[in-house]
Amino acid sequence: MTRIIVSKAKRILYGIEYGYFDTAKNWNKDNYDEYYLYFSHPIFEVRSYSLCIFTAGLGNWYMESAFIFRNQDGLKNRNNLKDANVYYFEDYVQAFLNNNEKIKKEFPNLYRLILFYLRGLYKRKQLEDFFQSGEQRTINELRIVLEHSYEEDLFVYENFDEVLRELKLTK
C-alpha cells in the first residue's frame, strides 16, 4: 500500500526540480489518493511525499496553474469524495494543523513554503472565501497559525534546493 502511495505521488510530482511546486502537475485521477491521511505516517518517504502533494496543490493554486482543492459546495454526499477523486481542502488543512509542530520540526523549509503559499492565498482572500460558514473552526485555527508566522519565517525561492534535500528528493 505505501509503495502505491509513493508511486502515485512521484507521478504527480515528476519534474518538481524544474517547475518547483508552482507549475501544474499530473493530477490525473489515476494518481489520486487521500494524501492528507499520511502526513504523520511512520515511514519517512510516505510522509514526505504526502506533504509534497499538499504543497504542490497549494503552489498550483497560488500560481493559478491548476486548482485541485474543492470545498463541499455542490457535493451531495461528502462520503463519495474518494469516488469522485476530490481533494477536499478542509481535510488537508486540518491534517496540516494537527501535525503542524511535527512538520515544522522535521521539514522546516517545506513548512515555510507551505506557510508562504497559505499566507499568500489568505492575503488574497482566497482562503476565507473557500471555507463555508460551517468550517469556521478550521479557518480560525489556520488564521492563528498564519498570524503567528513572521515574514522572516517564510520561504524564499533561493532555498528550494534545501527543500528537495530535506525531503531526500535530491543529493
Split into its structural domains, the chain has a count of 1
User: Span 97-107, mean pLDDT?
Assistant: 93
pLDDT, residue 83, reads 56
Answer whether 8's CB lies under 8 Å from 21's CB.
Answer: no
Does residue 15 sit within a domain?
yes
Does residue 90 sit within a domain?
yes
Domain that holds residue 32: 2-166
The pTM assigned to this predicted structure is: 0.85
Confidence of residue 155 (pLDDT cuts 50, 70, 90): low
pLDDT, residue 37, reads 96
User: Span 27-50, mean pLDDT?
Assistant: 92
DSSP for 80-123, written as a single string: GHHHHT-EEHHHHHHHHHHTHHHHHHH-HHHHHHHHHHHHHHHH
pLDDT, residue 78, reads 54
pLDDT, tens digit (0-9, with 9 covering 90-100), for 110-143: 888 898 888 888 877 766 666 655 567 787 888 8
pLDDT, residue 53, reads 93
Residue 27's Cβ-side half-sphere holds a number of Cα atoms within 13 Å equal to 20
Does residue 171 sit within a domain?
no
User: Span 10-28, mean pLDDT?
Assistant: 71
